Amino acid sequence: MKDTSNLDSIRDRLKIILYRFVEEALKDMRPEVLSETSLSDLGLDSFTILSFMVAVEDEFGIEWDDNLPAETFQSLNSMTLYIGRQLGTKV
Query: Residue 75: its pLDDT value, please?
Result: 86
Q: Three-state SS for 4? A: helix
Instruction: Note whether residue 59 is domain-resident.
Output: yes
For residue 46, what pLDDT is reported? 81
Element (H, E) at 31: helix 31-36
Residue 91 lies inside a defined structural domain of this protein? no
Looking at residue 10, its pLDDT comes to 92
Domain assignment present for 19: yes
- CATH number of the domain to which 22 belongs: 1.10.1200.10
Do you know the residue count of the chain? 91
Question: Which of 43, 87, 40, 42 has its CA nearest to residue 63?
Answer: 87
User: Which pLDDT belongs to residue 30?
Assistant: 60
CB 17 within 8 Å of CB 59:
yes
Query: Where in the sequence is the domain holding 26, given as residue range(s)?
Result: 4-86
Give pLDDT tens digits along the chain (91 positions): 556 678 999 988 998 888 887 776 666 666 555 677 777 777 777 888 888 899 999 999 999 998 999 889 888 889 999 999 999 887 6
Number of domains in the chain: 1
